Chains A and B, each alone.
Chain A
Amino acid sequence: MLKYLADNLVYTLVGVQPGTRLGEALDFFFYDTTKVFLLLGVIIFGVAVIRSFFPPERSRKLLGSRREYVGNFLAACLGIVTPFCSCSAVPMFIGFVESGLPLGITFSFLISSPTVNEVALVMLWGLFGWKIALIYTATGVTLAFFGGIIIGKLKLEHLVEDYVYQIKMGESETIVPTWKERLGYARDYTKDILRRVWLFVLIGIGLGAWIHGYVPMDFVLKYAGPGNPFAVIVAVLIGIPLYSNAAGTIPIVQALVEKGLPMGTALAFMMSIVAISTPEMIILRKVIKPKLIAIFAGIVSVAIILVGYLFNAIL
Chain B
Amino acid sequence: MKIEILGMGCSNCNKLYQNTLEAVKQSGKEIQVEKVEDIQKIMAYGVLSTPALAIDGAVKVAGKVPRVEQIMEWIK
Q: Which of B8, B39, B62, B67 contacts A172 (CB 8 A)?
A: B62
Which of A65-73, A90-98, A134-142, A301-309 has 4 or more CB atoms under 8 Å from chain B?
Answer: A90-98
Task: Find the A residue at minimum CB distance from B54.
Answer: A172
- Name the distance in Å between B32's Cβ and chain A's nearest Cβ: 20
Chain B contacts for A278, CB-based, 8 A:
none
Chain A contacts for B50, CB-based, 8 A:
85, 87-88, 90-91
- Evaluate contact between B45 and A170: CB separation under 8 angstroms: yes
Chain A contacts for B62, CB-based, 8 A:
55, 57, 172, 175
A56 at interface, CB cutoff 8 A: yes
- Evaluate contact between A167 and B49: CB separation under 8 angstroms: no
- Evaluate contact between A83 and B39: CB separation under 8 angstroms: no
- Name the distance in Å between A176's Cβ and chain B's nearest Cβ: 12
Chain A contacts for B43, CB-based, 8 A:
91, 94-95, 98, 167-170
Chain B contacts for A90, CB-based, 8 A:
8, 39, 50
- Evaluate contact between A60 and B48: CB separation under 8 angstroms: yes
- Evaluate contact between A169 and B61: CB separation under 8 angstroms: no
Interface size bucket, B side?
Answer: 20 to 34
Q: Which of A96, A173, A188 contacts B59 (CB 8 A)?
A: A173
B1 at interface, CB cutoff 8 A: no
- Name the distance in Å between A193's Cβ and chain B's nearest Cβ: 12
A163 at interface, CB cutoff 8 A: yes
CA distance A91 to B52 in the complex (A): 11
CA distance A105 to B61 in the complex (A): 26
CA distance A167 to B12 in the complex (A): 24
CA distance A170 to B51 in the complex (A): 16
- Evaluate contact between A189 and B64: CB separation under 8 angstroms: yes
Chain B contacts for A95, CB-based, 8 A:
43, 47-48
Question: A83 and B63 in contact (CB under 8 A), knowing A92-B49, A170-B46, A172-B47?
Answer: yes
Residues B60-75 near A (CB distance < 8 A) = 60-65, 67, 70
- Evaluate contact between A92 and B45: CB separation under 8 angstroms: no
- Name the distance in Å between B26's Cβ and chain A's nearest Cβ: 18
- Evaluate contact between B61 and A175: CB separation under 8 angstroms: yes
- Evaluate contact between B10 and A91: CB separation under 8 angstroms: no
Chain A contacts for B70, CB-based, 8 A:
184
- Evaluate contact between A55 and B67: CB separation under 8 angstroms: no
- Name the distance in Å between B22's Cβ and chain A's nearest Cβ: 15
- Name the distance in Å between A79's Cβ and chain B's nearest Cβ: 13
Q: Which of A167, A170, A185 contacts B64 (CB 8 A)?
A: A185
Task: Find the A residue at minimum CB distance from B58.
Answer: A173
Q: Which of A169, A175, A283 contacts B60 (CB 8 A)?
A: A175
- Evaluate contact between B40 and A163: CB separation under 8 angstroms: yes
Chain B contacts for A189, CB-based, 8 A:
64
CA distance A171 to B65 in the complex (A): 21
A3 at interface, CB cutoff 8 A: no
Chain B contacts for A172, CB-based, 8 A:
45-47, 59, 62
- Name the distance in Å between A35's Cβ and chain B's nearest Cβ: 28
CA distance A227 to B18 in the complex (A): 53
Task: Find the B residue at minimum CB distance from A189.
Answer: B64
Chain B residues with a Cβ under 8 A of chain A: 7-10, 12-13, 39-40, 42-51, 58-65, 67, 70
19 contacts between A and B (CB under 8 A): A55-B48, A57-B48, A57-B62, A83-B63, A86-B10, A87-B9, A88-B49, A91-B50, A95-B43, A95-B48, A98-B43, A168-B44, A169-B43, A170-B46, A171-B46, A172-B59, A175-B60, A188-B67, A287-B39
